[in-house]
Amino acid sequence: MQLDARIPSGPIQDKWDKHRFELKLVNPANKRKYRILVVGTGLAGASAAATLGELGYDVDCFCIQDSPRRAHSIAAQGGINAAKNYQNDGDSVYRLFYDTVKGGDFRAREANVYRLAQVSVNIIDQCVAQGVPFAREYGGMLDNRSFGGAQVSRTFYARGQTGQQLLLGAYSALNRMIDAGKVAMHTRTEMLDVVLVDGHARGIITRCLVTGNIKRWAGDAVVLCTGGYGNVFFLSTNAKSCNVTAAYRCYKRGAGFGNPCFTQIHPTCIPVTGGYQSKLTLMSESLRNDGRVWVPRNPTESLKDPREVLESDRYYFLEERYPSFGNLVPRDVASRAAKKVCDDGLGVARAEVDGRRNAVYLDFSDALTRLGHPTIADRYGNLFDIYERITGESPYTVPMRIYPAVHYTMGGLWVDYNLMSTIPGLHVLGEANFSDHGANRLGASALMQGLADGYFVIPYTIGGYLTTQHRGPVSADHPAFTQAEDESMARTQKLLALQGTTPVDELHRRLGKIMWDYCGMGRDRKGLEQALQLIPELREQFWKDAKVPGSGSELNPWLEQAGRLADFLEFGELMCRDALAREESCGGHFREEHQTPEGEAVRNDDDFAHAAVWEYRGEGELPVRHKEELTFEYVKLTTRSYK
């Protein structure tokens, strides 16, 4: 497997400009001769499909929901970063770049991150022009707030619904191109495979989720924007349909998978209440701007009404351990700190899970006193409402209870500077790629990356592929399509033949528990080796004992789930292998063996300043781990400290 990142030469601030100039252009009249297949309609997919359509390409766009507007980007709450420096507080492209590389614990590619920071400013302009109603100050200018991992206010927001408003903006741009006849939209359609002709990605196989019809689509390039794989844990903040299938099938066809073990555990989610729990709900990180995180110092007070715990008996563990960033330390640091106090027996959840009360308080009483109810309601009203609906308690009167949950996956298909995977023609955008967040993503950076990739990167770089590497037209009658379609059909039949006794969700829950216990917030060799035994056993049980009801020629959500779980059951193993091979603690990857006596992560730059890229070698074969060495010319490798 060749890993050429194709990073342009020259000073970092000039790379993107230089590269854009050097990329060959597709003649405007020729663009309509190319068909681009865009899979997924989240921020990355919708913005890419819309922009490619505007440029004149013919686009087919696919999503599994009943409308492109429902992709899970919609659920992002807090905000989107941009180096506008509207607050005059010392922000710059360079600072956003620096913060993001540092926040990612020095496991991201500098050139990509710098470009991300550069185009961040264009994103805000674009969204405002589309009519995205960002929060404003009374003078009519855009408002900003601060977010974890940064000491400037660079986060633009739309109440607690930033993702929704940005996605509706991208959806409207997409609609405009559908209206113009440049994009054909295919909803309730799931990608089952990618088709390679002469080693290039030239099409996909899909299943219509309403009729069960399996279909071939030929094109000139494939743009995969299918999101992250957090649902491998069963419980996560992802939507129920989020899955790894599209990315995993690409991996099995030869796309390298980068850093699969880098998962982000978000510190502020609503704790688990029982075994029937189907998902976890995030409470935006922005809450940590005004909320203070604490637990009672004395375990005997864990079930006491928090309002009656004396100030002196409260352990504000983030403020005490990290005085300069306090409650605004990055997500990985905050999550681990919460886990530690709960492991030490100080947790405050009402329900016990495995003998622990996994929750800490997020308390707004100081902010309510300082700023008043209306200000707090304006900033967080809808979040407080969500919390109250789920828990039955109002954060205006009782501190929230929160606990970390799986939220985002920094790992994904490996891509070069052009966002192209190791399969020529297969481009990967947004959360589905491994590109910009290293080992930990800072808050408000996912929206930024999805839109940067879709609006401002792929529209240029895809032209480079089409003009230099692309090889002529291909029809869907090519034998490679027949073969891939046959395989997809056979696989669907194999799933439908599963008539055992165990519902798919039950098996998924078991996989989730293995992943959370052994490949979650803290990992060690023994546990990972254990998981590498348990997962194949569970996989065997799935193929023996799962029960898939219904047929393949109708709407069958259980067949969809079974197909996705089958892939998670293989992918989980890859995550554990990656976690086992990475003998260091960095970002969201915390190896218990590698920590200081105070419990802080210890990175190993001598041996692991690289992205791990896994190559599939066939059924029953061990995957091969390749490395993309990372060089840090601009941000000095230091121990990440938020103290």
Query: Which residues within the stretch 97-156 sit at the binding site for other proteins (CB under 8 A)?
Result: 122, 124-131, 133-142
**Among 331, 582, 603, 640, the one annotated catalytic:** 331
Q: Show contacts with other proteins in window 540-579 (CB under 8 A).
A: 547, 549-550, 554-558
| Binding status of residue 164 toward other proteins by CB under 8 A | yes
Active-site residue, 509 included: no
Q: Show contacts with other proteins in window 311-330 (CB under 8 A).
A: none
| Choice from 87, 92, 151, 172 touching other proteins (CB under 8 A) | 172
| Choice from 90, 274, 355, 618 touching other proteins (CB under 8 A) | 274
Which of 37, 167, 256 has its CA nearest to residue 450? 167
| Binding status of residue 199 toward other proteins by CB under 8 A | no
Stretch that binds other proteins, among 278-286, 424-432, 591-599, 634-642 (CB under 8 A): 278-286
- In whole angstroms, the minimum distance from the beta carbon of 556 to other proteins comes to 8
| Choice from 87, 92, 151, 277 touching other proteins (CB under 8 A) | 277
Which of 144, 94, 219, 99 has its CA nearest to residue 481? 219
Instruction: Say if residues 118 and 93 touch (Cβ distance below 8 Å).
Output: yes
- In whole angstroms, the minimum distance from the beta carbon of 592 to other proteins comes to 32
Q: Show contacts with other proteins in window 506-535 (CB under 8 A).
A: 506
- In whole angstroms, the minimum distance from the beta carbon of 179 to other proteins comes to 5
SS3 label, residue 446 = helix
| Binding status of residue 86 toward other proteins by CB under 8 A | yes
| Choice from 330, 459, 463, 587 touching other proteins (CB under 8 A) | 459
Which of 339, 344, 359, 332 has its CA nearest to residue 601? 332
| Binding status of residue 47 toward other proteins by CB under 8 A | yes
C-alpha 589/C-alpha 183 separation (Å) is: 40
| Choice from 13, 30, 213, 273 touching other proteins (CB under 8 A) | 273
C-alpha 75/C-alpha 238 separation (Å) is: 9
Cite the DSSP H helix spans in 56-147.
Answer: 93-103, 110-130
The residues that bridge with 193 in the sheet, in sequence order, are 205
Stretch that binds other proteins, among 276-284, 339-347, 590-598, 630-638 (CB under 8 A): 276-284
- In whole angstroms, the minimum distance from the beta carbon of 75 to other proteins comes to 5
Considering the complex, state which of residue 101 and residue 173 has its C-beta at the smaller distance from other proteins.
173
| Choice from 14, 66, 344, 393 touching other proteins (CB under 8 A) | 66
Stretch that binds other proteins, among 28-36, 216-224, 236-244, 465-473 (CB under 8 A): 236-244
Which of 423, 408, 415 has its CA nearest to residue 457? 415
| Binding status of residue 360 toward other proteins by CB under 8 A | no
Residues with Cβ within 8 Å of residue 100, at least 6 apart in sequence = 108, 113, 116, 117, 436, 437, 442, 445
Q: Show contacts with other proteins in window 480-509 (CB under 8 A).
A: 501, 503, 505-506
Q: Which tokens in the block code for residue 84?
A: 């506008």
Q: The tokens 């990355």 sit on which residue?
A: 44
Residues with Cβ within 8 Å of residue 224, at least 6 apart in sequence = 39, 40, 194, 246, 247, 250, 413, 421, 426, 427, 428, 429, 432
The H or E element containing residue 339 is: helix 331-343
Helix 504-519 and helix 557-581, axial crossing angle in degrees, nearest 10:
20
Considering the complex, state which of residue 164 and residue 259 has its C-beta at the smaller distance from other proteins.
164
- In whole angstroms, the minimum distance from the beta carbon of 503 to other proteins comes to 4
Residues with Cβ within 8 Å of residue 122, at least 6 apart in sequence = 455, 456
* Alpha carbon distances (Å) from 528 to 253, 377, 589, 626: 26, 44, 13, 20
| Choice from 15, 31, 84, 437 touching other proteins (CB under 8 A) | 84
Stretch that binds other proteins, among 270-278, 569-577, 578-586, 621-629 (CB under 8 A): 270-278
Stretch that binds other proteins, among 5-13, 16-24, 97-105, 168-176 (CB under 8 A): 168-176
| Binding status of residue 171 toward other proteins by CB under 8 A | yes
| Binding status of residue 17 toward other proteins by CB under 8 A | no
| Binding status of residue 175 toward other proteins by CB under 8 A | yes
Residue 625 backbone dihedrals phi, psi, to 5 degrees: -95, 115
Stretch that binds other proteins, among 451-459, 516-524, 528-536, 577-585 (CB under 8 A): 451-459
DSSP secondary structure letters along 159-209: TT-HHHHHHHHHHHHHHHHHHTTSEEEE-SEEEEEEEEETTEEEEEEEEET
| Binding status of residue 185 toward other proteins by CB under 8 A | yes
SS3 label, residue 136 = strand
C-alpha 441/C-alpha 232 separation (Å) is: 19
| Catalytic sites, residue numbers | 331
